[in-house]
Amino acid sequence: MTAVTEGQTHPAAEGRAGTAPDPQTVFDAAVAADERIEPRDWMPDAYRASLVRQIAQHAHSEIIGMQPEANWITRAPSLRRKAILMAKVQDEAGHGLYLYSAAETLGTSREELLDKLHAGRQKYSSIFNYPTLTWADVGAIGWLVDGAAITNQVPICRCSYGPYARAMVRICKEESFHQRQGFESLLALSRGTPEQHAMAQDAVNRWWWPSLMMFGPPDDESSHSAQSMQWKIKRHSNDELRQRFVDIAVPQAEALGLTLPDPDLRWNEERGHHDFGAIDWAEFRDVLKGNGPCNDQRITQRRRAHEEGAWVRDAAAAHASKHRQNQGEAA
Ligand SMILES: [Fe+2]
Ligand SMILES: [Fe+2]
């Protein structure tokens, strides 16, 4: 969106001769014209708050999501798998960084968001409250969880808020690498010994349903969806994206030689989509409330990592201020 300061006319609001464009009109016109809203542009308070909420939840999910997988770095079955997993977990830290930076452009500091996460006042994706019990879980997370994340996130590359949309372009490229490494890892297990195949199947059995829950509650129960779609933060409904994910996953499961744990899953010729069984929303709400198998562990570990990293933040801040001082003296 072209930056508009007070008294200027946004091109999208021209043609109303004699009336000073009110910022809401300029904003609405920009969103309607599929332009990007940038940090210095005027935006409604509720739009800003909604973006901060969504970007924060997304950023928190990236860094909490490092934990279940990092659990397997020391026990990866080969040097190659270990190197891939370390790279993936580092990517997730990077995703967190891009997203906290995107939130900062809305006037909310990373420190403030982390404080809210640690105090339990902001959420992260419920999927990361499930444990990684075997090595096959790392493959299942890559294939299903990163796969669901991509389905959710590709449309955000066209989100109306510029910094969020741009961060998402790079994130999606990396997520697609994550999805492929998960698929490839599961394929190796599925074609391995009977024990390895069973381990892969067991992981898929445990991760399938929580992956479907990643798209959020059904459309008629989703409290933020309608407004987010109006603002073009969100482009497709939860149920639409969930259906898209199921349709992509079914042939991939066949290629893997693994079964998706849903007896009601079948192709519906009329709809041109797969029908699937009912999701256990009571479980979803329970995990969301904090009663999942790993909620406490994840937050405790996050707080500890934050405390133990305090010296790094202090050192970086001291270095930056020394650097500024040196530059000032040189100038
Ligand atoms: Fe990520
Ligand atoms: Fe990822």
Ligand nearest to the CA of 180: 2
**Amino acid (1-letter code) at residue 259:** T
What tokens were used for 251? 């042939």
Strands (E), 177-323: 266-268, 273-275
**Amino acid (1-letter code) at residue 32:** A
What tokens were used for 306? 């934050």
Residue 16 CA, ligand 2 centroid: distance in Å:
47
Residue 217 CA, ligand 1 centroid: distance in Å:
21
Q: CA angle 88-93-95, nearest 5°?
A: 90
Return residues with CB closer than 5 A to ligand 1 (ion): 62, 92, 95
pLDDT score at 15: 46
The whole-model pTM stands at 0.90
Longest dimension (CA), the chain: 77
Query: pLDDT tens digits for the chain (331 residues)?
Result: 544 444 444 555 454 556 778 999 999 999 999 999 999 999 999 999 999 999 999 999 999 999 999 999 999 999 999 999 999 999 999 999 999 999 999 999 999 999 999 999 999 999 999 999 999 999 999 999 999 999 999 999 999 999 999 999 999 999 999 999 999 999 999 999 999 999 999 999 999 999 999 999 998 887 777 889 899 998 899 999 999 999 999 999 999 999 999 999 999 999 999 999 999 999 998 998 888 999 999 999 999 999 999 999 999 999 999 999 999 888 8
Our CA dihedral for 158, 163, 164, 170, rounded to 10 degrees, sits at 80
Residue 178 CA, ligand 1 centroid: distance in Å:
8
Ligand nearest to the CA of 175: 2
Residue 327 CA, ligand 2 centroid: distance in Å:
38
3-class DSSP state for residue 267? strand
pLDDT score at 9: 46
Element (H, E) at 268: strand 266-268
3-class DSSP state for residue 275? strand
